[in-house]
Amino acid sequence: MSHQKQLIFRSKVDVWLMIVLLFSVVIGTFTALKMIIDHFSIFNLGMGIIIFVIAAYLPLWLFARTYYKIDEQHSHLYIQSGPFRWFIPFAEIHAIDESRNLIASPALSMERLKISYSNNQSILVSPKEKGKFRKTLEALINEYE
């Protein structure tokens, strides 16, 4: 793998989750605009902006920026999901298992991999190319055992 320094894997996105996220965007935008237009005040403007950011901008950010980067040069897995980020050194990863756990995670699909690392910590991811992601990461992890 020495010729590849970084591999980026986008998250797989389940259709039902895409529908929920888009519904949130539409409802959040509509609610914010209605609040501002119907009863304009500085307070309603502020609340409208907060509602828009939480209900519309955050889901779009999660949808657009959920990915997993295998960074061979820096020997870590970098996970980004909207504003949230994780750096997991390869040397700390001790297991990668299939999972369909519903717990909140940087995974936009139910076809997930559970990455166990460090002191009883784990994170769920859902790369589109799950097989390639797992094979690549396991090969690098084996180099650190």
What mean pLDDT is predicted for residues 70-80?
92
Query: pLDDT digits over 3-48, tens only?
Result: 557 899 999 999 998 999 899 899 989 989 998 899 889 998 999 9
Q: Which residue has the higher pLDDT, 124 or 102?
A: 124
Max CA-CA distance within the chain?
62
Given this model, what pLDDT does residue 3 score? 53
Token output for 83:
């504003």
What are the residue boundaries of the structural domains of the chain, listed by start? 1-145
What mean pLDDT is predicted for residues 133-140?
94
Average pLDDT, the chain: 91
Residue 1: pLDDT above 80? Answer: no
Domain spanning 1-145: CATH 2.60.40.3500: no
State pTM to two decimals: 0.84
Residue type, 22: L
- The whole-angstrom separation of Cα 63 and Cα 13 is 8
**Sign of the torsion formed by the C-alpha atoms of 94, 8, 76 and 66:** negative
What mean pLDDT is predicted for residues 101-108?
91
Categorize the per-residue pLDDT at 2 as very low, low, confident or very high, splitting at 50, 70 and 90.
very low
Which residues, in sequence order, are CB contacts of 31 under 8 Å at separation 6+? Answer: 48, 51, 55
Categorize the per-residue pLDDT at 102 as very low, low, confident or very high, splitting at 50, 70 and 90.
confident
Token output for 94:
């001790």
Q: Which residue has the higher pLDDT, 93 or 39?
A: 93
